[in-house]
Structures are given as structure tokens and as C-alpha cells.
Structure 1
Amino acid sequence: MKKHHQDIRDLIYVHLNQSDQYVISYGIEFDEFVAAFSGSLNHLLLLKHRFDDAEFNVHTLLEYCPEDKIHKMAAEDVYGYGDFCWIDFIEEEVLNELTGQEMAELLYLGHHKHHLKLPFYNKLGNRFVYLAHDDGWFNKIYYRSFKDFFHLLSEAISNKLGELKPEKSILGIRKKRTISKVNKEILLSLTPFIKEGICISLKAADHQRAKIEIPVWVVGDFANMDDMSEEYRHIAKQPCHAKIIFDKKTREWKLNII
């Protein structure tokens, strides 16, 4: 059982920094990230971790998680690692081509959770840089393409919603409700808000007979998640700024900006 703040399961905070190509988030964990990109993740060069089954690269003096062990790592208590940082890469041979300067940049990334230069390396072919402290509590992910971010957010919202309100079968056994993924276009429409920093509250979702309404609040730009949580508690008493709505009959999503 994962030991962490329960709110991580039902509150998502995202703040998008377009110029530096990263998103700071709360509420989306590594196992959810892996599920969203299942089958398309490459090997992970581990900058900070506690994974016991990693392999060692002699050139960088760093460990890495091969593609075929990513699901094993995702099943661990990654939150319990504390710092958890990695960058993906295509094949081990490319690690041996990294220069001293590039290795210094990678070590800086893992240590400071910030870049010296934008951390996209053609020789590595990386799509992401994943920098987390208490995974799911504070995550900073660099995206080569923000399409990947919107894909992750879409998957996370629908999966969390399905887990929060499980359906009961004829025998009364609770099973996860399958809810269609949120249209990327809807989430793209929220981009101006996401650039300011938003909270999406699954816990505060209004479950009606015909639809589910998920409230969205603009809370601002936070790097400290205690401060973000405090601001959310304050602002959640006020009317929300938007609602993401799931129509149970058509199984389609729509957005209502208030």
C-alpha cells in the first residue's frame, strides 16, 4: 500500500511554463505516468532514485532502468524514494557518447530540479525529464512536446474518476468504472488557465444522474505544495472558474468556463 497524503489521489494541480517547456504538478504519480505512456517509454537514466534492480552504466557512473523493468519500478513505493529524477534515452550506447559538460548538466538537473540549458538532447532522443520530490507531491516534468502533457492529464482525470466512484456488479463486487478519456481539445482550451496554475478537484466532483461535473479553480503559480494546498483550501470555498463535464449518456466530455 502506498503511504502518502490521501489528497494526492483526488486533487490535481498543474502549472505550465511554456517558455521553459515544463509542467509543475501535484496529484499525478509515476505509476499513472507509466500507465499513460505504456509501451512507448524508452530506458530511464536514473539521476536520483532507490530502485534496487537498476543497471549500471560505466561511462556516466549512473544507474538506469531498462525499458522492460519500468513497470516493476512503477509498482514500487516511488513516493517513499524521496527524490526521484530521471531522463529517458533510446539505447545504452548513446550514454557512452555524453560529454563531461552534458553529464554535469544532468547531475545539476537531478540535484537542483532545474536546468542549466533546456534539457533535450538529440543524442539521447529524450521526450521527458522527470524531477520529483515525494512523487505525486511535487513533480516537475520537462516535455519535448506538450502533446504528451495533455495526453497524461486526460488519462489521469478519467482514471482517477473511475477509481473514486467504482461501479457495483450484479454480485455487488466493486469494480473500477471505465470512463472515456477527456478530449484533448477540451484540455487545450484550458491552457490559459493552466499557465496560471489550476486545481482540478475529483473529490469535489458533482455526481448527478445524467452527468459528472468536475470543478476547476485557478489558484496561481506554486513551487511549494504546502502553500498551494493552503491556497486551494481557501479558494475552494468560492465558485469555481470552470467545470469539466462528463455526460453519462453520450459518454462525451465538454467544458464550461464560468
Structure 2
Amino acid sequence: MKRHHQDVRDLIYVHLNQSDQYVISHGIEFTEFVSTFSGSFNHLLLLAHRYDDADFNRHTLLEYCPADRIKQLAAEDVYRYGDFCWIDFIEEELLNELSGQEMAELLYLGHHKHHLKPPFYNKLGNRFVYLAHEDGWFNKTYYRSFKDFFQLFSIVIARKLGELKPEKSLLGIKKKRVYPPVNKEILLSLTPFIKEGICLSLRDADHQRNRIEIPIWVIGDFADMDDMYEEYLQTSHGRYHAKIILDKKTKDWKLNIV
């Protein structure tokens, strides 16, 4: 059962592979990634894309997006690109120092969405490798530091929650609610579950007068998001494994593990 693009906004799947330093996710999009790390991004070497306003590097024969154009790239419908893959780097001169072997590894990354060796290059100083197919549907992101992943996850949950349940002003105009990011300590304590693969469902959130409860199910390790979604549909009929709860009055998050 293939879900539609708009459906990626209400269900987040994350599976963390600690040894190989990547996270497979569904429901987290490039625009959310960019807004989370806005102001601290380097240039992006584009390994698979359809972006028309990229610059060309003669040494790698690859195009890249300069840091000052990343917001422009994020405004594109990169979901429609199909494959959308990049690695960040500090300066263009450093691309010219890449060896044939390193360039082959990068091409392999963009084509197969898997590494031949750990994809963190001192020459490039990259924090990430971002490998997506139908961005938001299937994303595999390598993190030099998982602190970045937990920062992204904490912000994305709060932002999506605000987008799904907008509040009406006196004039009846809908505006996004603003919720505080989830405490990173709460998400860190979910790490054992995230290593198994979890679904966090905003569509199944219980909105009460004084609190919002978001259920989490442990569903396993998936590379195929159709299979993941089928498993979610079955598992979500049963009891959740954990809940994150927002107290609307104090704006504090807490965790309830069953």
C-alpha cells in the first residue's frame, strides 16, 4: 500500500544504526532538515538531483549547491526528483583534492545509497551524507555526530504537531501552533527502541484539554517503506510501547514507557 506524499507529514519512522552511523527515516523532509540546521550548513555536493541552479566542479564532474543557495534548493519539490543525494563540504578547493578512489566511493553512495567505507572525509569535513528516494518517503542519513540527529528529531516532532493541529484566530484564520521541541534527554532514553525501529504517530495523538499524548510503537528494521507502513498498520491496533506527553500548561514533555 503506497502512501501519498502528503501522508509523510503525520507518521515518523526512524531506525538508528549506531555502528555504521546512519538513520533510516520516513516522514522527515529536506525542508525540515534545512530549517533545523539553518545557518550552520556548508556547501552540498550533489550526488543525485534535478536542481537547475547548481554550480559545476570540474575535478569531480559533479554539481554542487553553494551554501547561500541551500534555502532556494529547499524550496524546490525535491520529492519529485526521485533520488536526491548529497554530501556537505567546507570549500570547493577541497573537492579538487579528492582521489579517484574517494570519488568512486561518493558515486557508489549516490547510486546504491550505501557506503563502501565510512563516508566521513577529513578533506571535506562533512557532517552528513543525505541519501533519499522520494524525499520524506525513504531517507538514509549518515551523521558524524548523532547529536545532530536528536536535535533534528526533537524539533521535527514539535513542528509537525503544530502543523497538523492549527489553531484559529478570532478572524477564523488558521495559524500554526508553536510547541517546544521535545527534550533531547527523553529521545536519548528512547535510543534502545530507536535502534530496533520505531513509528511515532502524530495522526494517533490524543489531544486532551491539558495534554497531548503521542504514541510510539517498536516495529523493527525496514528498508522498504511500504513494508514498514503495513507493519505500522498492524502493530498500531495493539498497545503502544511508549508515549511522549506534552503538558500544555507547563510546556514540559515527559516520557511514559509501558
TM-score (norm 1): 0.98
Which residue is 1:125 aligned to? 125
CA RMSD of aligned residues (A): 0.9
Measure, in 2, the Cα distance between the counterparts of 1:165 and 1:16: 28
CA shift, 1:6, in A, is 2.5
The aligned counterpart of 1:78 is 78
Residue 172 of structure 1 deviates from its aligned partner by 1.7
Alpha-carbon separation, structure 2, partners of 1:109 and 1:122: 17
Contact 1:168–1:175 under 8 Å retained in 2: yes
Matched residue of 2:102: which SS?
A: helix
The CA distance in 2 between the partners of 1:30 and 1:68, in whole Å, is: 16
Secondary structure at 1:129 match in 2: strand
Q: Which residue of 2 aligns with 1:139?
A: 139
Query: Paired residue for 1:14?
Result: 14
Mind listing any 5+ residue stretches in structure 2 that lack a counterpart?
A: none
Alignment of 1:220 onto 2:220: yes
Q: Distance in 1 between matches of 2:170 and 2:229?
A: 39
Tell me the distance in 2 between the aligned counterparts of 1:175 and 1:127.
Answer: 34
Residue in structure 1 matched with residue 255 of structure 2 by the alignment: 255
- Percent identity of equivalent pairs: 79
Aligned match of 1:110: 110
Give 1:64's aligned residue: 64
Aligned equivalent of 1:173:
173
Distance (whole Å) between structure 2 residues aligned to residue 77 and residue 171 of structure 1: 31
Counterpart for residue 26 of structure 1: 26
Q: Distance in 2 between matches of 1:83 and 1:145?
A: 24
User: Shift in Å at residue 250 of structure 1?
Assistant: 0.1
CA distance in 1, matches of 2:223, 2:116: 18
Alpha-carbon deviation of 1:169? 1.4
Cα offset, 1:4, TM superposition: 4.3
Deviation at 1:168, TM superposition (A): 1.4
Shift of 1:170: 1.9
SS of aligned partner of 1:243: strand
Question: Aligned partner of 2:187: which letter?
Answer: L
Q: Aligned-pair distance for 1:5?
A: 2.6
How far apart, in 2, do the equivalents of 1:93 and 1:245 lie? 48
Counterpart CA distance in 1 for 2:4 and 2:241 is 28
Q: Secondary structure at 2:256's aligned position in 1?
A: strand
Kept in 2: contact 1:4–1:79 (CA 8 A):
no
**What is the CA-CA distance between 1:173 and the residue it aligns to?**
1.1
Contact 1:46 1:85 in 2 (8 A): yes
Secondary structure at the counterpart of residue 195 of structure 1: helix
1:191 alignment counterpart? 191
Aligned length: 256
- Aligned partner letter, 1:182: V
Shift in Å, 1:7:
1.9
Q: How far apart are the structure 2 equivalents of 1:47 and 1:88?
A: 11
Matched residues in 2 for 1:239 and 1:116: separation?
A: 40
For 1:40 and 1:106, locate their aligned partners in 2 and report how far apart those are by CA, in whole Å. Answer: 23
Runs of 4+ displaced beyond 4 Å: none
Q: How does 1:143-162 map to 2 (within 5 A)?
A: 143-162=143-162
Shift of 1:77: 0.7
1:118-162 deviation per Cα after TM superposition (whole angstroms, max 9, x unaligned)? 000011000000000000000000000000000010111000000
Aligned to 2:208: 208
Cα distance in structure 1, aligned partners of 2:6 and 2:90: 35
Partners of 2:22 and 2:225 lie apart in 1 by 16
CA contact (8 A) 1:167 1:174 kept: yes
> Distance between the aligned counterparts of 1:255 and 1:52, measured in 2?
44
